[in-house]
Amino acid sequence: MRIDVITIFPGYLAPLREALLGRAISAGLVDLAVHDLRTWTRDVHQAVDDAPYGGGPGMVMRPQVWGEALDAVLALDERPARIVVPTPAGRPFTQATAQAWSGDERLLFTCGRYEGIDQRVVDDARRRDLTVDEVSIGDYVLVGGEVAVLVMVEAVVRLLPGVLGNPASAEQDSFSDGLLEGPAFTRPEVWRGLAVPDVLRSGNHAKIARWRRDRALERTAERRPDLLAALPEDALDDADRAF
């Protein structure tokens, strides 16, 4: 997968080269390029923003600069890119989004700052039949899209084949079956007087699976009743309902 990021703060994306993602890059599973938006400014001040039409607080990022940046970065590779525009006004980014994008050959992230990017940049790209997704990572407001890009790239890249040591970790993720994952334990058997649940040491795999499923249902009901309510009809069997 090729990933491009356009930002006025390239240094903000440095963590992408650490740890799991760094290894995915070194291993050639991900080809990452971070670009400084100011490369495509033409004035001496390298201005990327201007006052909003209609008035109001804040500044809007100028379309000429973004338009040239997108054209240039798209041309770096012949494969078509999904263009991702992080914005608190976007559709929610979820595990299903990460799964869908992990099948793409190329992602291009555009980091807006200030009050966002002139809407015509998105409108123009869509008019040229490019895929543009405006997405939000949650119901709070960040200063810019950079941290949201760190979040989304990490969620997508860990799903690529060969990135996780044990692919079963991704299959058992919270959300992949629509439920939160239950609690996990390791040695010692008793720590500060707290014992590991007996069932997990029983060696009875069917009982362990049932116990884990019940804890997942319990935790989801407590913390995320909205997820339980959204499960498809056939997601719960009689044993689940008995719990």
Q: Is 110 in the site for ligand 6GU (CB under 6 A)?
A: no
CB of 41 to ligand 6GU, least distance (A): 21
User: Could you tell me if 145 and 87 are in contact, meaning their C-beta atoms sit under 8 angstroms apart?
Assistant: yes
Per-residue burial over 172-198, b if 16 or more Cβ lie within 10 Å, else e, is ebbeeebbbbbeeeeeeeeeeeeeeee
Distance CA 51, CA 151 (A): 29
Cβ at position 144, least distance to ligand 6GU in Å: 5
Residues 6+ apart with CB under 8 A from 73: 4, 6, 33, 35, 108
* Interaction mask 142-171, ligand 6GU, x per CB under 6 A: x-xx--x-----------------------
Q: Which is nearer to ligand 6GU, 141 or 190 (CB)?
A: 141
Q: Is 88 a catalytic residue?
A: yes
Comparing CB distances to ligand 6GU, the nearer of 141 and 184 is 141
Binding ligand 6GU (rule: CB under 6 A), the pick from 7, 87, 97, 220 is: 87
Query: Which CB atom, from 130 or from 142, has the smaller least distance to ligand 6GU?
Result: 142
Active-site residue flag, 173: yes
Report the distance separating Cα 217 and Cα 100, nearest Å: 25
What's the gap between Cα 28 and its chain centre?
A: 20
- Residue with smaller CB distance to ligand 6GU, 151 or 208: 151
**Could you say which residues in the range 4-33 bind ligand 6GU, by CB under 6 A?**
none
Decide: helix, strand or coil at residue 33: strand
Count the neighbouring beta carbons within 10 Å of the beta carbon of residue 67: 16
In the complex, least distance from residue 87 CB atom to ligand 6GU, rounded to whole angstroms: 5
Question: Distances in Å between the alpha carbon of 158 and those of 20, 42, 94, 161, 165?
Answer: 8, 38, 14, 8, 10
Amino acid letter, 121: V
Residue 31 annotated to the active site = no
Q: How far apart are CA 47 and CA 63, in angstroms?
A: 11
Q: Which of 158, 210, 219, 224 is catalytic?
A: 158
* Nearest residue (CB) to ligand 6GU, 22 versus 144: 144
Nearest approach in angstroms of CB 228 to ligand 6GU is: 24
The residues that are catalytic are 88, 115, 158, 173
Residues in contact with ligand 6GU by the rule CB under 6 A: 86-88, 136-138, 140-142, 144-145, 148
